[in-house]
Amino acid sequence: MDPMLTIAIRAARAAGDIIVRAMDRVDLLNITPKGRNDFVSDVDRQAEREIINTLQRAYPGHGFMGEEGGVQGPAHADHVWVIDPLDGTTNFLHGFPQFAVSIGLFHKGRIDKGVVYDPVKQELFTAARGAGATLNSRRIRVTKQVGMVGALLGTGIPFKDQSYLDAYLGMLKDLLKDAAGIRRAGSAALDLAYVAAGRLDGFWEIGLKPWDMAAGILLIQEAGGIVTDLEGGDKHFETGGVLAATPKLHPIMRGLIAPHLTDSLRHRPAQD
């Protein structure tokens, strides 16, 4: 296996162990609000430190961008690890078992490695550019879904910045008309991994950060899917909007989303 991917897996599993050990003592954790409907706990911080320590020991010359710790390491490093130590913190704090560790590696600005680890189900999704995507070491592919009829979609509601709620609800209404169903489970990293694994046919969300989606985007690309921003371009890391689906479903979803894109959505920066 790719050595950098091996180290990332080790880091993800170590963080997952911290998260699982804390599941029975959530009521004792120090929980701090970061913003509207956005929280961070001791577990987020501990898991991120464990990930960075593991990666830094192996690659001291690499840079790091963590959801909780910000940017660390050498400036202008060719390799930058983008880390969400606990994607789905609100789920975790409520005992809702849908959350994950997400680790992506950018090489010269391009996502090159990705790991999404669900410590509850012990499911490990991995991808390396040009080498395919796997779930627990077995190759995964997106589905062959060709249209909206019968499609199962995932999404995320813009709960932090509700100024885009009307636009989002318009998208939801149009995408719901012919779909088999739409799921909102609360962890974008896992939603994207599920598209790669064929559990969802498509996914869209507004207001993500690079650490929410970097690993998941590579998983989908390596599993044969299409990932763009909401307009069909490549600005998902800049705008925070992401649309992922099978090759034939993607343009159909994009067409249904397009009428609801305001100028502010097209050019908005990703949320804090």
Residue 71: how many CB atoms within 10 A of its CB? Answer: 10
Report the C-alpha gap between 128 and 235 in whole angstroms: 21
DSSP per position, 93-146: HTT-S--EEEEEEEETTEEEEEEEEETTTTEEEEEETTS-EEETTEE-------
The distance from CA 131 to its chain's CA centroid, rounded to whole angstroms, is 20
Residue 192, token pair as written in the block: 């994207």
Neighbours of 145 (CB within 10 A): 22
Which letter does DSSP use for residue 224 in this model? T
How many C-beta atoms surround the C-beta of residue 236 within 10 A?
23
DSSP 258: G
Residues that constitute the known binding site for Mg(2+): 67, 84, 86-87, 212
Under 8 Å CB-to-CB from 94, ≥6 apart: which residues? Answer: none
User: Is residue 250 a contact partner of residue 209, using CB atoms and an 8 Å limit?
Assistant: no
